[in-house]
Amino acid sequence: MKQSCQKAAAAGIICEVLYFLSVTIFLVTHNDIALTVWELMTVAGAAVMLVGLLVIAEEYGIDPMHRRLLTVSLSGTVIITSIAHFTSIGVVRPLAAQGEAIPEYFKIGTFPSIEMTLDYTAWGFFMGAAFFMLFLGIKDKPLRILSAVCGVLCFMGFAGSFFNENLWYAAIFGYGFGFLIMCILVLKKLRGKK
């Protein structure tokens, strides 16, 4: 199990680096292909986080009830963010390219919009719930503290986005940087046990 946890943590680190790289490339180029890559990396990142957090949770002895709730929360993130991004890639952007007038409230990247609300729900609410399930279900103190911080940041970003879109960025620190730090911490701990 230790080896699969190391692989999951390493995959999490690689995925986070690729995700932030795809964001940077889009912000620099504002290219449609770069936006598609960013959106696909978001969906892939959700799947990697689902597997990674479940493997980490099992390695650190999560109890069965919290593992089930963690799985439900992570699945919510994957499903909802997939709907938002595949709708953007497969429907909204092709229609816009054909000259259709797409209302702002259907576009990803503008707020308030249906797609951004879906994405904020996936990454703020459901990812926050996942981090809290991890916090409640494992005993490792550093991972518990980090999980609680990540969960609070995700929930703050989700709730805050309804008042001011800039408050959403708290969630990005929770799931983006928090998960990256968690994977690095897990790798260090597991290598230290050798």
DSSP result, 121-173: IIIIIIHHHHHHHHHHH---HHHHHHHHHHHHHHHHHHHHTTT-GGGGHHHHI
Full domain range(s) for residue 79: 2-192
pLDDT in tens, 97-137: 999 999 988 888 888 899 999 999 999 999 999 999 999 99
Q: Say how many residues make up the chain.
A: 194
Q: At what angle do helices 32-59 and 2-29 cross, to 10 degrees?
A: 160
Mean pLDDT across 150-162: 96
Tokens, residue 63? 């109890």
Name the domain count of the chain.
1
Report how far residue 55's alpha carbon sits from residue 59's, in angstroms, rounded to the nearest whole number.
Answer: 6
Does residue 56 sit in helix, strand or coil? helix
- For position 194, what pLDDT does the model report? 59
Q: Is the model's pLDDT at 193 over the cut of 80? A: no
pLDDT at 9 over 70: yes
| pTM exceeds 0.75 for this model | yes
Q: What is the pLDDT of residue 32?
A: 92
